[in-house]
Structure 1
Amino acid sequence: MSVEICEVPKSRKIDEIEKWFSEIYNKRPEFYIRVPGRVNLIGEHIDYCGYGVCPMAIEQDIFLAVSPENSQKKLFLHNLDPKFESYHCPLINDVQIELSGTAPKWYQYFLCGVKGILETLSDKEKDKIRGLEVIVSGTIPQGAGLSSSSALVSAAALATAHALKIKLTKEELANICAASERYIGTQGGGMDQAIAFLAQEGCAKLIEFEPLRSTEVRLPGGAVFVIAHSLSSLNKAATGDFNCRVVECRLATQIIAHRKGLDWRTIRRFGELQKALGITLDELTALTKEILHEEAYSKEEVIKELNTTSTELDEVSLTPNTQHLQSFKLYQRALHVLNEARRVEKFHKACKTSAGGEDSLVTLGNLMSQSHQSLKDLYECSHPQLDRIVELARGVTLGTRLTGAGWGGCTVSLVPPENVDKFVDLLIEEFYKPLGIKEGFQSLVFPTTPMEGARIYTPKN
């Protein structure tokens, strides 16, 4: 199924964007693109290991106004947020994304999406390439772990595909965007892009991989999720922290594969390893505890375990921004991934068998709390301000955890309906005000419900 095309809704937001578009480009937009952010309810740092996750789309979004441009075959980008500079470049098949080693520029995420679509064109189809005039507007907080970057990549890809009349399914778009976002240097999985396109209003999704597929997750009655920003943030592409966790999981997988007589060079994810060995998740967990030791592995020890060389390890297993690392916590990272994959299964089962009773909500909350503890202790990707919110949430929520990559960003809490206002007020008084925040609380802590995925809007004929 391809992305739904709808009539442009009437709203002040549309009117304002159209006004800016007319002033900048001296024409009206031909179409609009909306891609939502997401909150991951459970299943953190396991999509890139091949295991299922459980996100839902949120109201906050990336919104584009677009008009194809034929005369110059250039991409023109203007962001309504004044802190982001405008950008333009030739729109050719070989789009270059040159990273300088610091945080990527905002427009480079857009270029990832464009590049992903252009790379699907055959030589004959390259004649289709047209320029694009675009205005970008966004309400997803940056660095909050709510997928602002992936939403921008996905919006750019969808806009390019629609302008060039390229027909792609939602699953194809999600796979293209997941692959093309890696041009920014982050070795992420496919969760963010999948939920951006596959989300349905009113339900979360179990997203599984290889092949990409999604299943409705109907949340029990009385389930209210509250998002709270920790006021700390991390740009995943600006540091090696995220990629460090990716390669630690990869190395753990490859050492176990090698010990079991498999070609470690061809296996990069725990999901692949489990399938190759033909064992259950519990059996793989037991095998991991048997083979890996709790002490950190030195790079020399990894090389010896795999009977390889430093050069081959750098080329096969590491990324450019992790090749300097000399120590890897493989046991801890592996246990988090495998236990978190089991928590996702339990979360989905509790939702499927729920009759909306209190017991199922308690189960979901406990799983979320266990997830945060694992992310804090085994994966070491929490942050003191995230942990502070988790502490304040005890007794008021059923469960609270960091959501997104971590090292800052947001928490998500499962809150009984009667406690929502109490929890929001508690965070305002005990967390935000002591940090000097005096206003704008509604954008920092808010309840959310599952929203729809990406849409294309066109004017009424």
Structure 2
Amino acid sequence: MPGPPTGPGCAAPSSRTLTSTMPRHAGLIRRFTDVRGRAPAFAAEAPGRVNLIGDHVDYAEGLVLPMAIDRSCLAVADLGGSSNRVRFESLDLGDSFELDLTRPIEPGLHADKPWAAYPIGVLAGYLDDRDPSTLSGLDVLLTSTVPIGSGLSSSAAIELAIATLIEHILGIESEPLDRARLCQRAEQRFAGVPCGLMDQATSELAECRHAMLFDCRSERAESIRMPPSDQLATFVIDTKVRHELASSAYADRRAVCERAAHSLGVRRLRELEPGSIGDVGLLPEDEQRVARHVVSEIHRVYLFAEALRSGRLDQLGPLMAASHRSLRDDMRVSCPELDAVVRAAQTLPETIGVRMTGGGFGGCAVALVDAEAASSFPQRIQMAIGPSLDPDAFPVRASAGARGWVLPPRNREPMR
């Protein structure tokens, strides 16, 4: 039998007290210690995610098939005394903010710092029914390797890292899905994004070396083993393009989906069967397109999961190609840069399948690649695209969900 998972992203998430060195946190712990003059007492990590198939269907209560990746948000913290203030600092952004716990925590605080909405929203969720003094003096330092705005759920990674950190500080342990729902509500209320639960559920529930089939209606998750690393490699291809209209367009697509469901007399488009796509013909054109995408994409997720379970890798590529066409032509959430990346990857013989991933309008594509050619894939995809675009192609591994630790005293000693 194989041994226990090892390596970044596969550490056992069950231990609440760290008993060995954490290399990935060492630099963050050192930075906190050097700047604050004391070492942190708590640490947490939560991964980003890449969606293999099933985009723009979570808010229609569809099926999605993401996997957590070995890029994550790391956070360390301490309670710094009796102050009524809390402090969050982003090492990557070189930015920080404070909150006064004697005042209401409401949406719009620190609106000039878009990243602040996520930790503020999570903090507010935990203080809804608690005395704010339980977190007096909270001082958090965080860093993330999840590219912001890339469609890899950097926001969910921040939310789950902060939520896990707070629960360790409070000495509580919520049910995993309750923790994910709290983070979803934080993003909806404080960041104004009408997101489904997929991102937060993946960052919380994912298992190492597995993708996660998530039913957004029943909120049930099934882990599906990814093919062995000597057969298949997963790459994210970041276009480095970020379009400002992405968040508003996401909300617009969700609104059109809801109108289409109402026009068809169903609560959510998930209720339509694949054979009923013809029924959407009398809808307005925009409702026709989104309904066709949602119904067909949910069916593709089901077929993709079946192919993974049975090891039929040859069936994955056509499903990913059809998904990208549907997102491009029906949902209209792709962009020229994403389309160029997908076309280029499809010309390479080592590409098993490729599609855009995430909300769209820039961000990333996901590619499944023959493992034997994985080492040269980043260079070959750049050559295939040409000089018009400079994407960042990097491999990702299916990783475990959020985990947190109480740092033992020896890990709180200044690290020199």
TM-score band (shorter)? 0.7 to 0.9
- Shift of the alpha carbon at 1:235? 5.6
| 1:274-423 matches, cutoff 5 A | 274=271, 281-289=273-281, 291-294=282-285, 329-352=286-309, 354=310, 356=311, 360-396=312-348, 397-423=351-377
How far is 1:173 from its partner?
0.5
SS at match of 2:106: coil
Please list, as runs of the form range in 1=range in 2, the aligned pairs for 1:246-257 lying within 5 A after superposition.
Answer: 246-257=254-265
Selected match of 2:193 from 183, 186, 191: 186
Distance 1:284 1:104 in 2: 45
Q: Is the 8 A contact 1:46 1:337 kept in 2?
A: yes
Per-residue CA deviations over 1:63-96 (Å, capped at 9, x if unaligned) read 0011124411321111112x44211011358411
- Aligned AA for 1:95? I
Letter in 2 for 1:350: A
Q: CA deviation at 1:366?
A: 1.0
- Secondary structure of the 2:295 match is helix
Q: State the partner residue of 2:394.
A: 446
AA aligned opposite 2:218: P
Q: Give per-residue Cα distances to partners, 1:266-323, cap 9 Å, x unaligned.
A: x4x323xx2xxxxx6225434333x4243xxxxxxxxxxxxxxxxxxxxxxxxxxxxx
Q: Is the 8 A contact 1:84 1:106 kept in 2?
A: no
Q: Following superposition of structure 1 onto structure 2, how do residues 51-70 of structure 1 map, counting pairs within 5 Å? A: 51-70=62-81
Q: Distance in 2 between matches of 1:3 and 1:115?
A: 25
- Rounded to whole Å, the distance in 1 between the matches of 2:177 and 2:383 is 43
Alpha-carbon distance in 2 for matches of 1:284, 1:74: 56
Distance in 2, Cα, partners of 1:270 & 1:103 = 37
Task: Give runs of aligned pairs for residues 17-416 of structure 1, distance below 5 A.
Answer: 17-81=28-92, 83-91=93-101, 94-98=104-108, 105-119=114-128, 121=129, 128-183=134-189, 184-221=191-228, 222-234=231-243, 239-257=247-265, 267=267, 269-271=268-270, 274=271, 281-289=273-281, 291-294=282-285, 329-352=286-309, 354=310, 356=311, 360-396=312-348, 397-416=351-370
Residue 380 of structure 1 aligns to a residue in which SS? coil
Query: C-alpha root-mean-square deviation of aligned residues, in Å?
Result: 2.4
Q: TM-score, normalised by structure 1?
A: 0.79
Separation in 1, partners of 2:305, 2:160: 26
What percent of counterpart residues are identical? 29
Classify 1:421/1:270 alpha carbon distance in 2 versus 1 (closer, same or farther; 3 Å). same
Partner secondary structure for residue 65 of structure 1: strand
Give ranges in structure 1 of 5+ residues lacking alignment: 275-279, 295-328
- SS where residue 241 of structure 2 aligns? coil
- Once the 2 structures are TM-superposed, how far is the Cα of residue 388 of structure 1 from its aligned partner? 0.8
Q: Whole-Å Cα distance in 1 between the matches of residues 244 and 86 of structure 2? A: 25
Structure 2 contact 157–203 (Cα < 8 Å) conserved: yes
Residues 32-79 of structure 1 deviation map (CA, whole Å, 9 limit, x = unaligned): 010011100000011111011100011111000111244113211111
In 2 relative to 1, CA 367–4 (structure 1 residues): closer, same or farther, beyond 3 Å? Answer: farther
2:324 alignment partner, SS class: helix
Q: Report the AA paired with residue 426 of structure 1.
A: R
Q: Is the 8 A contact 1:59 1:448 kept in 2?
A: yes
Judge conservation of contact 2:48–2:69 (CA < 8 Å) in 1. yes
Distance in 1 of aligned mates of 2:20 and 2:102: 33
Task: Report the Cα distance in structure 2 between the residues aligned to 1:185 and 1:159, rounded to whole angstroms.
Answer: 23
Q: CA 1:44 to 1:418, structure 2 compared with 1: closer, same or farther past 3 Å?
A: same
Cα deviation digits, residues 119-162 of structure 1 (max 9, x gap): 3x26xx66644331000111111111111112112222222222
